Amino acid sequence: MNATRSTIELWIRQIIDNSVLSVNSTVPAYEVAKLMEESKAGAVIVLENHIPAGIVTNKDLSEKIIAHSYPADTPIRRVMSSPLISISPGTDMKTASELMASRKIRKLPVIENDQIVGMIIASNIAEPN
């Protein structure tokens, strides 16, 4: 492995948030909102059959629950954004940044073998360490 690739991989590992929350797709939206508030998380990965299927952000909760008057006990699968846009751990930062910009997303899950490895958050890319 060359030095440049090692440096890039180290940098990517530094900006990945490893404390990613996940919930089953049948969990009620109000429980997910409480979990996000208590943990100060901006997003939760939604699992279907233990596989990442979607993501719920604060924006999803406000737009879909409040704006569309969904009941608080709506299963989170109705609120999640899907299909889940994600990258693998080997994805280079330029590709990840371009994907986030083109899709207008601020949180990008990192998934390997159908398991959540972490999440890249747009503000972490912009902030120097």
What gap in Å lies between CA 42 and CA 125, rounded to an integer? 16
pLDDT above 60 (res 10)? no
SS3 25: coil
Please give the structure tokens belonging to residue 60. 């999803």
Give pLDDT, residue 128.
46
Please count the residues of the chain.
129
Average the pLDDT over 63-74 and give the result: 88
Q: How far is CA 1 from CA 15, 84, 87, in A?
A: 21, 31, 21
Tell me the domain boundaries of the chain: 3-126
**Is the pLDDT confidence value at 115 over 70?**
yes
Higher-confidence residue: 1 or 76? 76
Please tell me the pTM assigned to this model.
0.82
**Bigger pLDDT: 46 or 90?**
46
Q: Which residues pair with 80 in a beta bridge?
A: none
Region 3-126: CATH code: 3.10.580.10
> How far is 122 from 88, CA to CA, in rounded Å?
16
Q: Please report, rounded to a whole number, the percentage of residues in the chain having pLDDT higher than 90.
A: 52
